[in-house]
Structure 1
Amino acid sequence: MPGTPSPLERFNTAPAQDAERALLACLHSLRWALRMAGHRPYPDPASLLAASDEAAYDLSPEELAQALAAETLPALPEGTYSAAHTALNAAHAAYETKFGHAFVICLDGVPPEETLDRILEDIRSRLANDPDEERVVAAEELRRLARERLTHMLRGAGSRATSHDGAAPGT
């Protein structure tokens, strides 16, 4: 519709507090959100995503821990049988016990029917990591989640990036 601002234009011109709140829904790191909001306006989505990556790579261990603490287990597709929920909960409990935070994974591009298998496979695989290795992997998954949630925000459509609480990304 002519005259209707794009999602990027709305983000660029939103009050700082609104932009920060939207950004915190993408990655729960106050410094990341403040940095991203403070560098507006972004000329195009690619610039916004590049800035997101750069800011995410700069998270301190404490900021990474804060962002990880805000994540929860990925939602499973509707109709997933209860034994799958039990297996996922057990794998997640083992992961959380070992690493002290929720398991995070970006499911962008994973077909819904493969979600459970991918999550279980990745949890089991990543349980073999030592804490330092897993911190690097988890940080990369958070960066990818932030990108996907930002992309969702900019296009206003569904995304396969998941917040573990089952909420739509960017909400």
Structure 2
Amino acid sequence: MTRGPTLAAHRLPHLPTPLDAFNAAPDAEVGALLLHCLRSPRWSRRLADHRPYPDVESLLAAADEAAYDLSRPDLTDALAGESLPELPEDTYSAAHTALTAAHAAYEAKFGHVFVIHLGDTPPEERLDRVLEGIYSRLKNDPEDERVTSAEQLRRLAQGRLADLLRGTGPHPAACPPRGAASPNAPASGK
């Protein structure tokens, strides 16, 4: 005999998912959440304007599509909001000189912070991966590095959005993007 769901299951209230909350949130709140993840006011507005999303995958696909349409000023805005990847606390004291010198050389050449998606890189391997990435990418010409940086930003945004909307990421208000303008402010010259 096959049994269906019990009556008790029908009495459970529908608990909203992070995506449900995202779709229903006020524009200003969604703008702030997206700006935390994307670091570009235009990129954030574009995703906010296309709500509601039926599922996280649809939102991630829309974020990818919008990433490929970022103009040079949009990319500059997004890069300005980034900082070096988070590394284990003791990393900075152990390799402060090497990391500082490599990052200074990178910023001097390209005019923006080094961005890299570390994905599932174990904490103990992050410093090596960051240094390897900086030294490798210092060989790029500025236009090639801009393309590489845009791809790294896209991957970072994907990870941040996925974490946020699957309920596994930090609350964005705890760590707003560096130097970002309000998501509801008009775009200046873009």
Q: Could you say whether these structures have the same fold, taking a TM-score greater than 0.5 normalized by the shorter chain as the test?
A: yes
Shift of 1:105: 0.7
Change (3 A) 1:137 1:76: same
User: Are the aligned partners of 1:24 and 1:33 in contact in 2 as well (CA < 8 Å)?
Assistant: yes
Q: Aligned AA for 2:29?
A: D
Shift of 1:158: 4.6
Change (3 A) 1:57 1:25: same
Change (3 A) 1:24 1:158: closer
Query: What's the C-alpha RMSD, in Å, of the aligned pairs?
Result: 1.9
> Where does residue 157 of structure 2 map in the other structure?
146
> Where does residue 36 of structure 2 map in the other structure?
25
User: Are the aligned partners of 1:158 and 1:168 in contact in 2 as well (CA < 8 Å)?
Assistant: no
Alignment of 1:80-99 (within 5 A): 80=91, 82-99=93-110
> Where does residue 186 of structure 2 map in the other structure?
none
> Where does residue 61 of structure 1 map in the other structure?
72
Shift of 1:5: 0.4
TM-score by length of 1: 0.89
User: Are the aligned partners of 1:20 and 1:34 in contact in 2 as well (CA < 8 Å)?
Assistant: yes
Shift of 1:4: 1.7
The answer for unaligned runs of 5 or more in structure 1 is: 160-166
> Where does residue 107 of structure 1 map in the other structure?
118
> Where does residue 162 of structure 1 map in the other structure?
none
For residues 168 and 26 of structure 1, what CA distance do their matches in structure 2 show? 9
Shift of 1:28: 1.4
1:137 and 2:145 correspond: no
1:37 and 2:48 correspond: yes
1:10 and 2:21 correspond: yes
- The alignment partner of 2:90 has SS state of coil
Q: 1:48 aligns with which of 59, 65, 71?
A: 59
Higher relative contact order (CA 8 A, sep 6+): 2
Q: 2:127 aligns with which of 116, 121, 133?
A: 116
Query: How many residues are matched?
Result: 163
Shift of 1:3: 2.2
For residues 2 and 91 of structure 1, what CA distance do their matches in structure 2 show? 53
